[in-house]
Structure 1
């Protein structure tokens, strides 16, 4: 299979994923022949919602649509043009251990391994194991050569040359020991933060609400902490969050909101509360579900130094004109193909194997 074959197959996959919508179920004429896959994936979406209480149809459809946009030809070209992807004879098998915190969170690694010309051995999280196999099946329908390139396993990993593993700080220590003799990318816990100046518009804060609440805040690209000026007034912040107020009707989110609120009140912590989001002053980066930490700053330069010192703990810094590597408000859940997790160039790693 040539590089151009692989790319054209993923472009076709992107068109297929773009058919899924919360409001319409129109199938494009050029993919009518894949109606069986459409129905099968639609059924798996329903099953995934029952299997994992944190997955909702809205969030799964959002993930599918984001991948549909990412797999457009212009995006693939922009991502891949800087790499030497000439077809090579030696194929490696790359084991990919996936997280399951949000739908299809491991798809970028899956895509990267296949685009690099290697074989992928997938070990999925039990929390998200229903969607990707259907996507792999679709690719095999497009091009039967993928059958020799894609393998899923629930067993102990064996017969592989390199590994990409995503997990917590605790599992990372296990991965580092277990895979010490393999070429590897080992990912640990990361969080995202936002830096506010107090001059944000209502629209910017509404955009920020998506960074906070999409996927219930479970992703490493979700904002879990705010940095605000010493005199910041949250009266301008909370109204912009109201578009997400129905999130508290989700049982698992509501349980976390109630539990964390009770813990904070019993511990006599000072908190702010609008009925679905707790704000707690805290120096930590990772806040519990339904909670957003905040920290006040007096010097932008000191804050920049602090963020630089902790960059290995951070996935995204959301701000406007604060630093060169910032992510714009509302954009954390719209990463480009070249926005690598932990800022580690996955494709360069794979091409050196």
Structure 2
């Protein structure tokens, strides 16, 4: 297959995903090999929460819809235009995370687009969705059957590895895969810088950055930087539409637990009944908690964040720094916005 052919098949995957939207699910009659895979995906959308309590129908549909948007011909052309791939014969192992639905799909399509073979070890938290899309690819072009393999056991016979995990598992990955070309991803968090001049609309967009996927993604904002005299009233008003998260038992349990722990430790908290704000120098706040830190000098803050860039995935702000992410955009990454700012396709091209 040429790169243009591989791209065309991914566009068909995007068309398949276009049937599953938060606004409604509607089966298309113009798609090849659609019937069995439509039914499988429909079943998994409803069943996902039983395998992973965080994978609500709303969040699974959100993920599928985002991938539908991403896999357009225009986006794929823009992403791939600066690379030169041939048909390759290397096997690339993927060790995937499972914190949000289809979190490893970008690595999966990157390997296939590069012409390599992919050997996938799925997270136990996200084992159902990706195989459906892989089987759909094989159904529309059987050549993919020699390009895609899944394994539950020990990974063998691979030439390079892309592995995602916690800081602890990353140390294991770095040792275990030390003799292979690799991309090893560790814990990262995202932060937002507020100035106090944000509109209610901007703060509502920020709420999406905080609460989507219950805050479990590395692109979710887990900490705010606010001016010394910042008043949180406008922020709390803007995030009120997300109060429904307390209807989700796992989120509510985390809220209750973290609040109890903080109160017993006599930490000073701000609380609106579904989100705890805790002043803390760290980046990674627990579920239902958002850390915040006050600043007095904007330039000094930007220097601090620059020094911490290896620990940060996104910095959300408005006209403060070159690599900032706009309010509401963290959960809508473009294909060319790589995790950890590591160009996956260049890595694959150079194997």
TM-score in same-fold range (> 0.5): yes
Write the distance in 2 (CA, Å) between the matches of 1:43 and 1:226: 38
CA deviation profile, 1:192-232 (whole Å, cap 9, x unmatched): 00000000000000000000000000000000000000010
Q: 2:12 corresponds to which residue?
A: 12
**Displacement, 1:29?**
3.3
User: Residues 22 and 65 of structure 2 are in contact (CA less than 8 Å); yes or no, is this contact kept in structure 1?
Assistant: no
Structure 1 residues not aligned, in runs of 5+: none
Shift of 1:48: 1.8
User: What is the CA–CA distance in structure 2 between the aligned matches of 1:282 and 1:167, rounded to whole Å?
Assistant: 24
Q: Measure the CA separation in 2 of the matches of 1:114 and 1:36.
A: 23
Secondary structure of 1:96's aligned partner: strand
Alignment correspondent of 1:322: 320
Alignment partner of 1:93 is 2:91: yes
1:62 and 2:58 are equivalent in the alignment: no
The residue aligned with 1:173 is 171
Aligned positions of 1:325-340 closer than 5 A: 325-340=323-338
Aligned pairs for 1:1-353 (under 5 A) are 1-31=1-31, 33-85=33-85, 87-88=86-87, 90-353=88-351
CA RMSD for the aligned pairs?
0.9
Q: Is the 8 A contact 2:33 2:136 kept in 1?
A: no
- Distance across 1 between alignment mates of 2:32 and 2:162: 35
| SS state at 2:214 partner | helix
Asked whether the 8 Å contact 2:33–2:140 carries over to 1, the reply is no
Name the CA distance, whole Å, in 1 between partners of 2:221 and 2:171: 25
Partner of 1:30, secondary structure, is coil
**1:240 alignment partner, SS class:** helix
Q: CA deviation at 1:33?
A: 4.7
Cα offset, 1:25, TM superposition: 2.5
Aligned counterparts of 1:173 and 1:7: Cα–Cα separation in 2:
35
Q: Secondary structure of the equivalent of 2:266?
A: coil
Q: Please list the CA deviations of residues 142-177 of structure 1 after superposition, one character each: whole Å capped at 9, or x if unmatched.
A: 100000000000010000000000000000000000
Query: 1:47, CA displacement in angstroms?
Result: 2.3
C-alpha distance after superposition, 1:23-59 (max 9, x if no partner): 4222233227502211111112222210101110100
Q: CA deviation at 1:75?
A: 0.2
Secondary structure, counterpart of 1:283 in structure 2: coil
Partner secondary structure for residue 46 of structure 1? helix
Residues of 2 paired with 1:114 and 1:295: CA distance? 42
Q: 1:18, CA displacement in angstroms?
A: 1.0
**Separation of aligned partners in 1, 2:28 and 2:72:** 15
CA distance in structure 2 between the partners assigned to 1:241 and 1:226 by the alignment: 14
Q: Secondary structure at the match of 2:21?
A: coil
Q: How many residues align?
A: 351
Counterparts of 1:114 and 1:261, CA distance in 2? 45
TM-score by length of 2: 0.99
- Following the alignment from structure 2 to structure 1, what is the Cα–Cα distance between the partners of residues 207 and 25? 28
Structure 2 residues not aligned, in runs of 5+: none
